[in-house]
Each structure stands twice: as C-alpha cells, then as structure tokens.
C-alpha cells in the first residue's frame, strides 16, 4: 500500500471527462459522514467527477441529497475508485462552487482538493472492479454526463 498527496496520472486520465463511452459501466463510491456520525455511501459515475489535475477534482451531486448535505456541512469526503488493478482511496477537502444559472442539469458542484491518496493492491490477485452498472439508455445518459462535465469545467 502506498500513500501520496496526489492522484496517480492514470486515475487523473481516467477522470479527464473524455471517452465516456468506454467508461460508462464504471462507478466509484463517495464516502461522507451523516450528522449523527454514521458513514454514508453514494455511487458516482465518470460523468459526475472531473479531474482538473492530479490535485484538484470537481464533483457534481444531485441537489438536496444526504451526500450533498454531508459535504456542505463537513467539507470532507473520500472517493473510492478501482482503476489499473488498484483501489484508490482519495481523501478530499471540498467546497461548494457557485450555482450555474444556465445549467442544463442543475447540480450542487464542488471543488475538491486532494488531501491524501492511498493506493491498495493485492500481491495475490488483481483488483478488477468495485461497482459496475449497465446504463438503460446510454445515449441519453452519456449526453447528460458530457453536459454535466462541461458545467464542471466552468
């Protein structure tokens, strides 16, 4: 297990917002803490997380959700992603971004600073995936993701 202060180049490229068709089945977990101290887990797609560089991410969450409330309250989260046969545990310090009045898909947007990253591998096995899903209407969802990522770039 290695620990560093930036996400790997490979993870950064995976979260670059491009080639979504090839990544549409992959999901990540965003961990936060509820008001009463319980862990909370949300699934995010590659259409909701954008790596600006190896130290900064942007995240788009549905407004009014428990996870959104947790991040607004604590300013902290952990992103868990399986990529390149490793589990990446990315601790984030988050702050809300201003609303976009002309947003196609209104979301609560966050700027996230990478605080630390642990990469975990297994000597006895390859880590292939965490959460995977099959989109019901890929064309519609991929278009929404592209629009959402475009809004995260603003």
Domain of residue 69, residue span: 2-153
Residue 92 CB contacts under 8 Å (≥ 6 apart), including other chains: 57, 76, 77, 78, 79, 112, 113, 114, 115
- For the stretch 118-137, pLDDT in tens is 999 888 888 887 787 889 99
- CA separation for the pair 26, 21 (Å, rounded): 10
Look at strands 76-83 and 131-132 and give their pairing: unpaired
Is pTM beyond 0.95 here?
A: no
- Report the domain count for the chain: 1
- For the stretch 28-76, pLDDT in tens is 999 999 999 999 999 999 999 999 999 999 999 999 999 999 999 999 9
CATH number at residue 134: 2.30.110.10
DSSP labels, 36-86: TS-EEEEEEETTSEEESSSSEEEEEE-TT-HHHHHHHHH-EEEEEEEETTE
């Amino acid at each position: 297990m290695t620990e560093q202060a930036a996400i790997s180049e490979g993870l950064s490229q995976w979260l670059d917002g491009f080639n979504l068709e090839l990544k549409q089945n992959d999901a990540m977990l965003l961990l936060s803490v509820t008001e009463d101290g319980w862990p909370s887990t949300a699934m995010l797609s590659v259409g909701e997380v954008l790596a600006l560089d190896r130290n900064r991410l942007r995240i788009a969450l549905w407004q009014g959700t428990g996870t959104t409330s947790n991040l607004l309250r604590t300013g902290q989260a952990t992103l868990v992603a399986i990529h390149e046969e490793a589990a990446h545990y990315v601790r984030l310090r988050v702050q809300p971004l201003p609303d976009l009045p002309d947003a196609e898909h209104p979301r609560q947007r966050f700027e996230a600073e990478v605080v630390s990253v642990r990469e975990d591998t297994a000597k006895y096995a390859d880590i292939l995936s965490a959460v995977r899903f099959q989109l019901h209407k890929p064309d519609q969802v991929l278009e929404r993701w592209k629009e959402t990522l475009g809004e995260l770039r603003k």
